[in-house]
Amino acid sequence: MASNGEKPQVSMLLAAEIAELLDKRRTVEARDSLVDMHPAEIAELLVELESQQRAMAFRILPRDIAAEVFTELSSDLQEQLTEELTNEQLAQMFNEMEPDDRAELFDEMPGQLVTQLLSMMRPEERRSTQVILNYPPDSVGRLMTPEFISLRPEWTVEQAFEHIRTRGEEAETVHVLFVVDDRGRLIDDILIRELLLANPSATVESIMDDSAIWLNARDDREEAVRMMERYDVSVLPVVDRDHVLVGIVTFDDVADVAEEETTEDIHKGGAVAPLDMSYGETSILTLVKKRAGWLLLLVAVAILSSEVIGQFEETLEAVLVLAFFIPLLIDSGGNAGSQSATIMVRAIATGDVHLKQWLGTLGKEVFVGLLLGGLMGIASALLGLWRGGWEIGLIVGLSMVSIVVIANLIGTLTPFVLSRMRLDPATASSPLITTVADVTGLLIYFSIATGIIAMLDFTVDPEETEEENAIELVVPDEAGADRSPVGGTTAGPLTIDWMGEQRAAGVRAV
């Protein structure tokens, strides 16, 4: 079997072979080669073909395979093929699709074309598609398929199997069967394994355990992801407000949703508006629009950092060495806040933490922040001691502890606040948390510095610093003896004009 790294090369070789067959009008051989492949592999191969060859290859596919291949293609290629095919060909292809896949594709098409296609489809396929399209775009109803097998509780196992043989070909799955009453309301679900092991004369009701779990058709589709993860099932029944079984949701549909939601959360976590399509299909202008809004907002918030520094200008002038520690402190606060926000967003998304637990979570993170801040504060205090004395070490150490604790609490609380406001907690992006933590960190740092400086009457004397760093410039005469020194603060090897001659000057500290 070819490795993942070899697959693109294999697809290109097969594409070249298919293209040659199509150019020579050997369509039967091309068709035979294609039908032996998996629909996903055919879709990869079509990408490598020229537009005209792609349309020709797609037309020669059997309708059921063409329907599966179409769902595997990118939206751009789907649009190109739609333009190449007649409405009648499109209707035949959509008739072969699963209702949920069909509804998803119709969402992306112009309304006039959808109306035409629906009118040309088989009545039963049209009805099933219209049922799905009536539900909100991000609801479970849009994911479900109405093709399932239902049983009646009074049937015998033998009757159930006869029904399965009759309807099984049309069903999405026969692994899980659903028991309904005479009004179609869900009673229970049964695994096919339980029927196989039961006595043929036993009734379906006798092997029921009344443990069914279900989704409502108007639930958010993320609920389907959570339910399948929680109960470890591959199929879930979907009911309407009257508890009538209207469809089922399978694992493959939910896996696609999980991937989309994870991608969306990652984008939001990076302060990027979620993309509506893959990165490769997104234009440069769209990428700029998706990112510019957040960046401009963060710039506006970051201006507050400059304002904070301006408010404490006198403190900085008195103890200039404080500026050395600004990047260290605000970066540490931003990192701590981003860490806690990331952990909390994921915990809320997976249901590990609920909104009502906010107070206990906040208390836990206070201790986490104190321990982290203490460790980082000790390291920062030692650095401050080395750079500016014990007073600077005290200021930097206390600031580090306070900043880390506060930033940690900001990162923890923000997802809870957003959830309470019915917003996506993933909006608590790392750049946003970092920017807010920067402003807060500067306020804390300069407030502590101003208080300690005032309490200790501590300043750095510029004249004293200049005297400590003073040097004298010594110029040797022709015999090598030193001439009168020239005081200054320039250091390093020099060449100067000495009484009309260029001479090397030495540097000696005083």
pLDDT (tens digit per residue) in 370-394 = 999 999 999 999 988 888 888 888 9
Tell me how far apart the alpha carbons of residues 95 and 91 are, in angstroms, rounded to a whole number: 6
Q: Which CATH architecture describes the domain 150-257?
A: Roll (3.10)
Where in the sequence of the chain do the CATH 3.10.580.10 domains occur? 150-257
Q: Enter the pTM of the model.
A: 0.56
* Separation CA 52–CA 42 (nearest Å): 16
Q: Classify the C-alpha dihedral 176-180-185-189 as positive or negative.
A: negative
Element (H, E) at 459: none
Torsion of CA 161, 165, 166, 172, to 10 degrees: 110
> In the predicted model, is pLDDT for residue 67 greater than 50?
yes
The tens digit of pLDDT for each residue in 192-211 reads 999 999 999 999 999 998 88
CATH number of 279-460, picked from 3.30.479.30, 3.40.50.300, 3.40.190.10, 1.10.357.20: 1.10.357.20
Q: What CATH class has 7-133?
A: mainly alpha
* Comma-separated ranges of CATH 1.10.357.20 domains in the chain: 279-460
Q: Is the pLDDT of residue 150 over 70?
A: yes
Q: Which residue has the tokens 């809004």?
A: 293
Quickly state the pLDDT bin for 292 (edges 50, 70, 90).
Answer: confident
Percent of the chain whose predicted confidence (pLDDT) is above 70: 82
Give residue 236's pLDDT. Answer: 93
CA distance 319 to 313: 10
pLDDT, tens digit (0-9, with 9 covering 90-100), for 25-50: 888 888 888 888 888 888 888 888 88
Helix or strand (DSSP H, E) at 270: none
Where along the chain do the CATH 1.25.60.10 domains lie?
7-133
Helix H, strand E, coil C: the string for 106-131 is HHHCCHHHHHHHHHHCCHHHHHHHHH
**What is the reported pLDDT for 271?**
57
pLDDT of residue 162: 92
